[in-house]
Structure 1
């Protein structure tokens, strides 16, 4: 279950991803609009260039010496090619208009005449869009021409079908929109993935911190309560202080061991505990741990085979000590002394007890804490699991067929 702190961190991550994606979307929209606008201008300039080529050439071919002469115009190849053109009067001097032989798009002559009159009136090149006879979008350009006296007589009006250019522009706009949409989606997905990857260590650290605090409170509650009870009893009954003092010292030592174990686990989880790996005879290490551990009347047997492993001896010694301590504390029947058997072979340490066994639902490796039928807090076993994983091994927990629990610590072996 996620804590409120980690949930807030994840919410902030989502808001940051949304903000980053929104900024990318806004930037993509601006870029798309600019690209479409520039492409439209380039398309119009391309069409106007074709029209200008026609109108400028035709105006040079026109002759006027009191009579309008189009002989050279009719002989030029432009007369039979697109864009089509027309020579129309637009000033006070009237003459019969001339239309090129090739009709590329149907146009209303009245529209062309109006463009010619406007070009003559303004004295400059005009361009724009009109609709053809069939509703086609047509780009037109009108260039006025003068007589020998410098007076405007009329204008050359050229027209070209703008449909292909508009279709090309629409395809370009669709490509840009699709590309921007895919970019925004990719940025959102990448932001979600990379932000998750970036905050994963922080989330893990927060979760480990909260687990550590919960473990500390859980595992210290009972000994602290017992220590307080002993202190209150000693205060109320001075004659029992001699009897209560050893128990108080024992509880204080147990609390120190719990705190030490919690710190080791926290350092392992945070990755700040560096392994001092060296070749170690695992069978000898286990035998040493058993010899140094008070059994309090319990029966402990050890069966070993020479096994060499590359591990941090201090951490592995702590892990084996935790397994043995767990078996001595909780691996017994009510009223009976604990019976523990340890087997070492092939990089494996198996600790079997004759207790009530373990809850199968809590015996999975992916649980941070373990719980035994005897009421173990699970902290010691959790540390064992962390030590095993730090060495590339594992901790297996299962019940024996004849009863009791078996804890199997597996470490990489040189065998």
Structure 2
């Protein structure tokens, strides 16, 4: 079964929500990745700054004789030799001297790796920075700073090493915080996208729903007259002698169908806001009496009790609403095998239509005003038109059951003072 246009628009709303969320989430993830990468870089810069502070301090303690010999004796006499980060003064390049390792073991790193870093720094004449594998689990952050002998040649390098566990743990906390924040923001974006897309397509959904209701109401209200018109035409075709009697009935039925179509189109234009109500002072009691006189009763007993009542309303719409209530009571306000008994009261701006039928289920009474089915199994569009007419005039429609059986419909309009 094909879905309605309004249903497809609702699915479009979900598609717009997904697209909105996906695009914003993609941008958010890019920003999050940049932030995390920047945080990691800043953490490494802090580690390197501390290591370079150590290498610079040790470099001031390293001495070089006139013959180019490097002396590290003063390094062991300074308190930096027992502090963290740990370091090593290692020969490389053109230098030959006794290597010196600090006495504090702060990071588990293989000495062969330190010698390799020293040679790399001396060969390049530049700082060497990065992570190297630890002898245990994890990584070690290292910085190697080359230094010159008195002969002007690179004689070795000072290699400082630090355990980055604390910094990596901090960075991991930042990472999980960013992930959690992204999840919350994506959820918020999804909700915001759903609300925005709903607001964007709401006018289109409302217009399509009104169109579908109009089509359904037109089909409902024209079904019976069309069937009756066809029956009259077939009877006239089979019985030429009855045509003079059938022709006036056919004309009246066609006029009724035209009136139904006009009323439905007026409601559609009013609901769409392209036409306003033709409000004018009317005598509600006279209008109701006229509707009763013009409505075929099909054997039903219809009585009317009125008091002079004046309201400001659109007479065409009110006439149709009262006709729908009367037609509903005549059709369903009867006991099996008995004619309908309907009593109409008009007073104080209210029209009360009471019948002697089985009544109406209160649980579905409200749905009868809005949906396409009523408690009696018939179309509820007639009652929905009555309710819409009441609300358009600032009134209301209520339904309840009488104490001794039967349903009572109360249509109210603001009375003229």
TM range (shorter): 0.7 to 0.9
TM-score, normalisation: structure 1 = 0.82
Contact 1:331 1:340 in 2 (8 A): no
Q: Is 1:253 the counterpart of 2:255 in the alignment?
A: yes
TM-fit CA distance, 1:320:
3.5
Q: Following the alignment from structure 1 to structure 2, what is the Cα–Cα distance between the partners of residues 64 and 380?
A: 108
Who is 1:22 aligned against?
22
Task: Name the structure 1 match of 2:291.
Answer: 293
1:339-354, aligned counterparts within 5 Å? Answer: 339-345=342-348, 348-354=350-356
Quick check: 1:242 aligned with 2:240? no
Q: Is the Cα–Cα contact under 8 Å of residues 25 and 184 in structure 1 kept in the other structure?
A: yes
Task: Kindly tell me the number of residue pairs found equivalent between the two proteins.
Answer: 407
Matches of 1:261 and 1:362, distance apart in 2: 30
Give the equivalent residue in structure 2 for 1:7: 7
Cα deviations across residues 20-70 of structure 1 (Å, max 9, x unaligned)?
333334333333333322222222222222222222333233221144334
Task: Between 158-167 and 20-29, report the one with greater CA deviation.
Answer: 20-29
Aligned residue number for residue 207 of structure 2 = 205
Distance verdict in 2 for CA 1:372–1:192, change over 3 Å: closer
The farther-off stretch of 222-231 and 138-147 is 222-231
Does residue 402 (structure 1) correspond to residue 414 (structure 2)? The answer is no
Query: In structure 2, what is the equivalent of residue 366 of structure 1?
Result: 367
Equivalence for 2:48? 48
2: CA distance, partners of 1:79 / 1:311: 100
Provide the rounded CA distance (Å) in 2 between the counterparts of 1:291 and 1:215. 26
Deviation of 1:210 after TM superposition, in Å, equals 2.5
Paired residues for 1:100-179 under 5 Å: 100-179=102-181
2:366 is paired with a residue whose SS is: coil
Question: Secondary structure of the residue that 1:149 maps to in structure 2?
Answer: coil
Match of 1:191 in 2: 193
The correspondence for 2:90, drawn from 88, 91, 116, is 88
State how far apart, in whole Å, the 2-side matches of 1:335 and 1:33 are: 80
In structure 2, C-alpha distance between the alignment counterparts of 1:372 and 1:332, rounded to whole Å: 14
Secondary structure of residue in 2 paired with 1:295: helix
The 3 A distance-change label for structure 1 pair 397 and 3 is: farther
Q: Quick one: structure 1 residues 3 and 350, their matched pair in 2 at CA, closer, same or farther if it must change by over 3 Å?
A: farther
Q: 2: CA distance between counterparts of 1:129 and 1:37? A: 16
Secondary structure of the residue aligned to 1:104 is coil
CA contact (8 A) 1:136 1:161 kept: no
Gaps of 5+ in 2: none
Check the 8 A contact 2:145/2:158 in 1, yes or no.
Answer: yes
Match of 1:319 in 2: 321
Cα distance change, pair 86–413 in 1 and its aligned pair in 2 (3 A) = farther
**Are 1:348 and 1:410, in contact at CA under 8 Å, matched by a contact in 2?**
yes
Q: Give me the TM-score of the superposition, normalised by structure 2.
A: 0.82
Assess, with a 3 A threshold, how the Cα gap between structure 1 residues 105 and 122 changes in structure 2: closer, same or farther.
same
Return 5+ residue gaps in structure 1 as ranges: none
Q: Deviation digits for residues 166-196 of structure 1, max 9, x if unmatched? A: 1111112112222222222222233234333
Aligned: 1:302 with 2:305 = yes
Note the aligned Cα RMSD (angstroms): 3.6
Q: Give the equivalent residue in structure 2 for 1:57.
A: 57
CA distance in 2, matches of 1:312, 1:251: 24
Distance in 2 (CA, whole Å) between partners of 1:166 and 1:378 is: 69
- Following superposition, the deviation at residue 289 of structure 1 comes to 1.1
Does structure 1 retain, via aligned residues, the 8 Å contact 2:283–2:308? no
